[in-house]
A = this chain, B = another copy of it.
């Protein structure tokens, strides 16, 4: 590799996101964290991954402000990894990945779980894109614009 390319300085927000969570394990670790896992051993046993790379990923996620280490919680002197608001903010990404799989996977019968509305127990609707005024948008209804330059100092 000579060094796996980093997207950190890229101007594209998608690339910037992938820089933080675009590897094989990060999003799955976050998924487990959203399920309430907090301990090193929980992640390791649920995900079945090597401990060294779990350690590396946890460090990276902490560095990116997605997880934070909490000193205790249940009495024991061990450490815990908890989601920050930034970490919890990945929820729509996971939902989008899930729905893509549900819609397009070649073997959907192998998917074990469905995401439901807790109150009614019914599957949730597909994620929708809306305009500021509420109109439902398709991809074709959108376009990219250059970001307006920030004012140098607040006037």
Contact = CB atoms under 8 A, between A and B. Distances in A.
Interface of A: 4-5, 7, 9, 11-18, 22-24, 27-28, 31, 34, 49, 65, 85-86, 88-106, 109-135, 137, 139-147, 150
Identical copies of this chain, number? 2
19 contacts: A12-B112, A12-B113, A14-B28, A14-B97, A16-B105, A16-B110, A18-B97, A22-B27, A92-B126, A113-B147, A114-B145, A116-B142, A117-B135, A117-B141, A120-B131, A123-B132, A124-B129, A124-B130, A125-B131
Nearest to A147: B114
Given A100-B89, A130-B128, A141 B119 contact: yes
